[in-house]
Chains A and B, each alone.
Chain A
Amino acid sequence: MSNCRYTAVATWRWVANDDNCGICRMPFDGCCPDCKVPGDDCPLVWGRCSHCFHIHCIVKWLNSQQVHQLCPMCRQEWKFKE
């Protein structure tokens, strides 16, 4: 065939251990409720406890905690995974 055209389509997914953010309940393939577009502007982050959230969601939670900064899922002290 001489007139061969194709349309390239790419998909992406975050590799997370769950489908939804435990804080906002939005899918990880979507963004947090304060963002409009999923992707690099609304990334996921992992704690050392292995729980994963939208960065905007976990930071909002940590900023609201004065004394202890605990993982919302397992209540261990929150440390960002390096």
Chain B
Amino acid sequence: MASMEKRLQKELQALQRDPPVGVKVDTDKLTSNLSEWTVNLTGAPGTLYEGENFVLHFKFGSRYPFDSPQVIFGGANIPVHPHVYSNGHICLSILTEDWSPALSVQSVCLSIVSMLSSCKEKKRPPDNAIYVKTCSKNPKKTRWWYHDDQV
């Protein structure tokens, strides 16, 4: 078994044994070598996204965890948030330059739930229209500019 698969196997076991609130792996949609995951997120109580359901797609390359996974929102409900583009791409530094191999599916999901939770106003990023028209399908190919730690 490849080392990426071994590590993902461990993560899956831990997530199923002890799932964090609002994070649920859709085990029916796992691919056989675990290179693609679908995770269902629920907006935290007391936040603008309370009770909303979201779908996150993870794609892992063979160099995971040394390389970050590709993470995008999918499905019908893409959260309206200043760091989430309407095509599901997420502007979050831990998904690119601040990635660490100590991070995991669980910590990425919790960071995203917490990013949603701290939002004060539901709106799209200011450059949404142009970004969605011109970006690559893979958000890891975007040169992100991280400028706002407030949300």
- Which residues from chain A sit less than 8 Å from chain B, CB to CB? 22-26, 32-34, 57, 60-61, 64, 70, 72-73, 75
**What secondary structure prevails in chain A residues at the interface with B?**
loop
CB distance from B64 to the nearest CB of A (A): 11
- Which residues from chain B sit less than 8 Å from chain A, CB to CB? 1-3, 6-7, 10-11, 63, 65-67, 100-102
Of all chain A residues, the one with the shortest Cβ separation from B10 is: A25
Q: Which residues of B contact A73 (CB under 8 A)?
A: 100, 102
CB pair B7–A33 under 8 Å, yes or no, is: yes
- Apart from A24-B6, A72-B102, what 13 extra A-B contacts exist at CB < 8 Å? A23-B101, A24-B7, A25-B7, A25-B10, A33-B2, A33-B3, A33-B7, A57-B101, A64-B63, A70-B100, A72-B101, A73-B102, A75-B100
**What secondary structure prevails in chain B residues at the interface with A?**
loop
The 25 sampled A-B contact pairs (Cβ below 8 Å) are A22-B101, A22-B102, A23-B65, A23-B102, A24-B3, A24-B7, A25-B7, A25-B10, A25-B11, A26-B10, A32-B3, A33-B1, A33-B2, A33-B3, A34-B3, A57-B101, A61-B101, A64-B63, A64-B66, A64-B67, A72-B100, A72-B101, A72-B102, A73-B100, A73-B102
Q: Which residues of A contact B6 (CB under 8 A)?
A: 24, 26, 33
* Most chain A beta-carbon contacts within 10 A, residue among B1, B2, B3, B6: B3
CB distance from A35 to the nearest CB of B (A): 10
Q: Which residues of B contact A60 (CB under 8 A)?
A: 66
CB distance from A51 to the nearest CB of B (A): 9
Q: Which residues of A contact B66 (CB under 8 A)?
A: 60-61, 64
A70 to B94: give the CA distance in the assembly, Å: 14
Q: Which residues of B contact A72 (CB under 8 A)?
A: 100-102
Q: Which residues of A contact B100 (CB under 8 A)?
A: 70, 72-73, 75
CB distance from B92 to the nearest CB of A (A): 16
A24 to B65: give the CA distance in the assembly, Å: 8
